[in-house]
Structure 1
Amino acid sequence: MSILEGVESVLGMFGEGRHEISFNDVMDELGLAKSSASRLLAQMVRYRLLELQSTTRRYRPGMLLIRAAQAATQAHPFDEQCREILATLSDSTGFTAYLSMLDGTDTVVLQRLNGSNPVQVLSPPGARRPAFTTAMGRVLLSRLSDAEFGTRYGPSNDTGLPLAPAGCPATVGELHERVMTAHRERSAVAINEGMPGIGAVAATLADPISGDVRGLCLSFTAMQVSQAQATSLRDTLVRAVATVGQRIGDPLWQDTVDIPSR
């Protein structure tokens, strides 16, 4: 394994809501010898790619990575428009808001905005989740053509999805049906799917110039919101996203016939 392959592998461990990793995590999950893991982690700390917590002896993303991520976000005006939508909704609802993108068959958190509610659903920037397990994932997948969807999940509808949590589609065919629903509704709602006790509503925006697609999501605990309230929250998100989508020329939002009215 080259040094860059090692760095990529270590940074890839910060997913699935994982905020920090241990020395043993790196050895066990990457199959590295103790000496190799020690050299790799020491170099990543030296160059500020990781930060070693003195009390727990666990590793977190370093300041170099954090500043690079912040600079990338600030340099992208499209992302800033998405962030403004989420900030307004997070402020008004108190819920956690996320801006994410699709990477292969995973969603990746780009930004998180903490709400004012005392109970928050927190995943750090960089966290990854299988797209089929979340509302965010399904609306992002709904932006793909059938050919692109088939490239990522294979041609057979009978193919099983890995370790499908309760409430999530178990096969590619079931996933495709839910993605088509998200496409028709231009949004998705998921409660107690993928993460028990957690709910979310999500929609997407696409930059017509760059082609970049972003998922916008509000997340909450299932006990906080009823199904009817979740639907109302989804409609609020859709109206906010549609307004910006129409302004920037996102084709998905040019037809306003079935967008919920205020």
Structure 2
Amino acid sequence: MSILEGVESVLGMFGEGRHEISFNDVMDEFGLAKSSASRLLAQMVRYRLLDLHPATRRYRPGMLLIRAAQAATQAHPLDQQCREILATLSDSTGFTAYLSMLDGTDTVVLQRLNGSNPVQVLSPPGARRPAFTTAMGRVLLSRLTEAEFHARYGVAGDTSLPQAPAGCPATVGELRERVATALHERSAVAINEGMPGIGAVATTLADPVSGDVRGLCLSFTAMQVSQAQAATLRDTLVRAVASVGQRIGDPLWRAAGNAISR
């Protein structure tokens, strides 16, 4: 394994949703000798790709990596427009706001904006969740073509989804129906699905030139918001995103037309 292959492999462990890794994690996962793992990790710490916590002796993403990731997301014009929408809504509601993208069958958090409410729903940037378990995931899946959806989940509707939590689709067919609803409504609401006690409203925005799609979400505890309030919150999010979507030429929102403005 070359040094660059080693760096890619170690950083890929964080891409799987881990927040920290240990020396033994690296040795066990890649079958490295103790000396090879020690040399690789020491080099990554030296060049600020990793940070070694002095007390726990566990490794976390280093400052150079964090700054590069922040620059990448903030430099994208679509991400900047999404952040402005989410900042406004988070400030007005007090709820946690998330900007995410779809990676295979997972959602990945790109940015998080903490609200002012004393009870916050917090997942760090880089956190991953199975797309079928969340409102965010289902609106992102609704942007896929039929062929793209089948490539990820297969065509058999009775195929079971892995360890489906209560309230979530249990089969590919059920997921397809929920995704079709998200496409029709251009949004999704999920309360006590996937994460008990947690609720969220979500929608999407796409760059008509690059085709990049982002998911925008407001998250809250289930006891903070009733079903009726969640529906109102969803409508507020949709109107805010529709306005920008129509301005930048996102086909989904251009097609929505007058139905959104009423």
TM norm structure 2 = 0.92
Pick closer, same or farther for the CA change 1:29–1:197 going to 2, 3 Å.
farther
Amino acid in the other structure paired with 1:248: I
Shift of 1:182: 0.4
Report matched runs for 1:1-262 at 5 Å. 1-14=1-14, 18-254=18-254, 255-259=256-260, 261=262
Q: SS of the counterpart of 1:211? A: coil
Mean alpha-carbon deviation: is it higher for 187-196 or for 38-47? 38-47
Q: SS of the counterpart of 1:55? A: coil
Pick closer, same or farther for the CA change 1:32–1:119 going to 2, 3 Å.
farther
- The answer to whether the 8 A contact 1:107-1:137 is kept is yes
Q: SS of the counterpart of 1:201? A: strand
Pick closer, same or farther for the CA change 1:25–1:247 going to 2, 3 Å.
same
- The answer to whether the 8 A contact 1:16-1:129 is kept is no
Mean alpha-carbon deviation: is it higher for 208-217 or for 25-34? 25-34
Pick closer, same or farther for the CA change 1:115–1:149 going to 2, 3 Å.
same
The Cα offsets for residues 215-250 of structure 1, whole Å up to 9 and x where unpaired, read as: 001111112111111111111100100010111111
TM norm structure 1 = 0.92
Instruction: List gaps (5 residues or longer) in structure 2.
Output: none
| In 2: Cα distance, 1:259 partner to 1:153 partner | 31
Mean alpha-carbon deviation: is it higher for 164-173 or for 203-212? 164-173
Mean alpha-carbon deviation: is it higher for 5-14 or for 196-205? 5-14
| In 1: Cα distance, 2:121 partner to 2:32 partner | 33
- The answer to whether the 8 A contact 1:97-1:115 is kept is yes
Amino acid in the other structure paired with 1:97: A
Q: SS of the counterpart of 1:100? A: strand
The Cα offsets for residues 3-58 of structure 1, whole Å up to 9 and x where unpaired, read as: 43433333233357643233333344555454443233222212211111112222
Amino acid in the other structure paired with 2:132: F
- The answer to whether the 8 A contact 1:100-1:215 is kept is yes
Pick closer, same or farther for the CA change 1:224–1:8 going to 2, 3 Å.
farther
| In 1: Cα distance, 2:71 partner to 2:125 partner | 13
RMSD: 1.9
